[in-house]
Structure 1
Amino acid sequence: MSVRLRSAAVAAFALFATLAARPVAAHVDYVTEDPSDPLDAVGFVAEVLSDPFNAAIFAGSGLLGVAGLAVYLWIRPTIVDVVVLREKLAGYGDLVPWMLRLAVGLPLVGAGFQGYLFAPTLSFDTAASPLLRVLFIGLGFFVLFGLATRIVSVVGLVTYAWVLAAVDPLVVLAVEYVPVFVALAVLGGGRPSADDMLLEVASTPGSYYGRIDPVHHLKSFLDEATAPLRRYVPTVLRVGMGVSFVYLGLIQKLADPGSALLVVEKYDLTSVVPVDPGLWVVGAGVTEVAVGLALIAGFFTRGAAALSFVLFTTTLFGLPDDPVLAHVALFGLASAVFTLGSGPLSLDRLIGRPALDDEEPVAAAD
């Protein structure tokens, strides 16, 4: 057993060192201003990997990652620490709505005050559009307080759909809002929240408030109506996060290497790890796509969420121009996925795991 654990530790350390040498998961559009010259994406990747040194590093990193996962899957059933961690995380399930409310509430307030539509690249004139400013600030504060959470989440979804369809499809940069709004529409505000407090007051016999606000009594009905959907909340969150990663890696890096090269040049990333700039771009894109596909498939879900958290943190320290508010929702989303795990419709369920009901945290989420 000790030999297997030592092997796993060596593989994990090597994998972390390899990933740390790759670029962070940045929104390219957030840190570049000048348009780049278009480059043929397929030709660019082929040219980068035609260099024997680049190909050796790329292939070695991939093989090391696969080997690390294989070792972990081999020894996982015998690691007590993993079982204990999952049991502990199950007790945090009722805090997930609160995590998600903070994750989108804070950036929505920031978007309203700074004047942008979900993504910092989609700015609007706050003086010319005061109603938009009030809408985003209002959405943010209502979500933060947990007041009329389900209604506000639906309004948030409709607003996002309007921006996507009628204003600018590049709002897909902030696609992480969608799974969070959907999850909150299902789970409600949870605890602590204004909804929970007002329901308690309104439901108390003889309450003066209950006489003038019968609306919160609907919360109990909505809780029952959405109960069958709660088990799918982990699936919605991890798939939504996975889609965001695939977009960042595939569309913003691999399909647009010119812009990604500007990021490498702007922050002199080749001085951090002296490799070909093209290898930075290809490595970042493939890493993000791989993490995204793992999340979508529900494979090694908590590991992928933990890795994404590391990538987001590295971005904030490594790219000072990347707006902090643009990553708050992703941080909250990663935290929720790490807490809840893969949920149903996932490969993690198929390959087996120690006995623990993954639906337990969601069932207790409100």
Structure 2
Amino acid sequence: MVTPTAKTLSRALVTLGAVSVVCSGVVAAHVRFVTDTTDVGEGFAFLADALTDPFNAAILGGGALAVLVALGVYLRVQPLQRDIEVFRDVMTGYRDLLPWLLRLGFGLPLVGAGFAGYFFNPIVEPATAPGFARLFQIGLGFALLFGVATRAAAILGLLAYLVSLFLQPLLLYSFEWVPGFIALAVVGSGRPSADEVLQKVAAADGTVYGELDPVHRAASWLNRAVDPYERFVPTVIRIGMGLSFAFLGLFEKLLAPEMALSVVEQYSLTALLPVPAELWVLGAGFAELGLGVAIMFGFFTRTSAITALSVFVLTLFGIPDDPVLAHIGLFSLASALLITGAGAYALDNRIGADKPAAARDDIVTTVDD
């Protein structure tokens, strides 16, 4: 029997673990977006010096231990099960709006990138034909926003990103475009969208438009062909977003300490929380790395997604110069995981973190069923 004291302790530990991760996320921005420093520093030497400092080791070790204990106690006590069940059911009810959420999340940044003159990423300029690159992104962005030829636009955007990646390796710092475009290519336009309207008009008997536009009329076969793969969309989002987070934590913070330290100094973050500057970098780096790994493997996926959203919000307040548009894609991916849950091939399906205790015997797949 679970005692009230145990429940109270579990809730306190969960709160402590979440706060320790979120607070370290104030500096968890795209460092390269807000600093003029070009020197990345000696990453391994920085880690060796910073981690052997007793104070840093104690703080980081204590935070990691708090998170692990909180997870263990949660799995043992299972507090707030009714709250979690209702929350999950409400979020699942938004499933039909998932394509619209993704279209907004990646259409808006494309339009913004086109008008601002950068290419997918604020630190990357078009390698050639900047005028064409602007028009390409604006046109692609509006196609996604209005839901016009959504799958074709997503595939075209994915190909443009992957080809450009060979010419502009810094595009890796915006890797979220890959899972975003793939997800949109699978889920399509959804509703509300121009594609849905045009397809229904074209499919209706006796319409003149149906005779003029055989593409939308015949698109139903494509929908049937893609439908079996839609259950893997949460998996694609989860793995892509997790990789992006882990990459940023490792290569923008832990292995690029000079850049990260310059951001701490630039925004006087040590005045906000009076700890050594290197502890800010370590906390942000390890928090992003750990959060990325958790999302990637589908471990407490919805909780991890909420934590990611909290990190984004804190970043906007802590680092006001960080370009908001550049983060909307990650915002939409995290929000999508709140709706879909972990998807296939996730640890949540084994430990039952995505289901209430009473339903654990029925765990076979996720909310896609």
**Normalized against structure 2, the TM-score is what?**
0.93
Contact in 2 for aligned 1:93/1:361 (Cα 8 Å): no
Identify which of 71, 74, 77 aligns with 1:75.
Answer: 77
- d(CA) in 1 for partners of 2:268 and 2:254? 19
1:129 paired residue number? 130
After superposition, the CA RMSD in angstroms is 1.8
Shift of 1:358: 8.7
Amino acid at match of 1:156: G
Q: CA deviation at 1:230?
A: 0.8
Q: Is 1:144 matched up with 2:149?
A: no
User: Which digits, 9 at most, give the CA deviation of each residue in 1:186-225, with x for residues without a partner?
Assistant: 1110011111111111111011111101100232111111
Alignment check: 8 A CA contact 1:153 1:185 kept = yes
- Give ranges in structure 2 of 5+ residues lacking alignment: none
Contact 2:150 2:184 in 1 (8 A): yes
What are the ranges of 5 or more consecutive residues in structure 1 without an aligned counterpart? Answer: none
Report the Cα offset of residue 123 of structure 1.
2.2
Q: Which moved more, 1:51-60 or 1:67-76?
A: 67-76
Name the SS of the counterpart of 2:219 in structure 1.
helix
User: 1:15-52 deviations in whole A, cap 9, x for unaligned?
Assistant: 2332343242200100111322x532222112112221
Question: Match of 2:254, as an amino acid?
Answer: L
Moved more, 168-177 or 1-10: 1-10
Amino acid at match of 1:199: Q
Deviation at 1:171, TM superposition (A): 0.5
Identify the residue that residue 163 of structure 1 maps to in structure 2. Answer: 164
Bigger Cα displacement from structure 2, 15-24 vs 232-241: 15-24
Helix, strand or coil for the counterpart of 1:22?
helix
**% identical aligned pairs:** 46
Give per-residue Cα distances to partners, 1:154-193, cap 9 Å, x unaligned: 000011012102x201101111111011011111100111
> Superposed, which structure 2 residues align to 1:228-243 within 5 Å?
228-243=228-243
Match among 90, 93, 100 for residue 91 of structure 1: 93
Instruction: Note if contact 1:343-1:358 (Cα within 8 Å) is conserved in structure 2.
Output: no
Within 5 A, what are the aligned runs for 1:1-366? 1=2, 2-24=4-26, 25-36=28-39, 38-76=40-78, 79-124=81-126, 129-165=130-166, 167-352=167-352, 353-354=355-356, 355=359, 362=368
What is the number of equivalent residue pairs in this alignment?
360
Q: Which amino acid aligns with 1:132?
A: A
- Output one character per residue of 1:343-363: Cα deviation in whole Å (capped at 9) or x when no partner: 110100111233378967657
* Cα deviations by residue, 1:97-147 (Å, 9 ceiling, x for unpaired): 100000000000011111111000012499x53221111000000000011
Distance in 1 between residues matched to 2:127 and 2:347, nearest whole Å: 46
Contact 1:246/1:288 (CA < 8 Å) preserved in 2?
yes
- Cα distance in 1 for partners of 2:36, 2:80 equals 51
More divergent stretch after superposition (44-53 vs 267-276): 44-53
| Counterpart-to-counterpart distance in 2, 1:35 and 1:324 | 22
Partners of 2:88 and 2:316 in 1: how far apart?
28
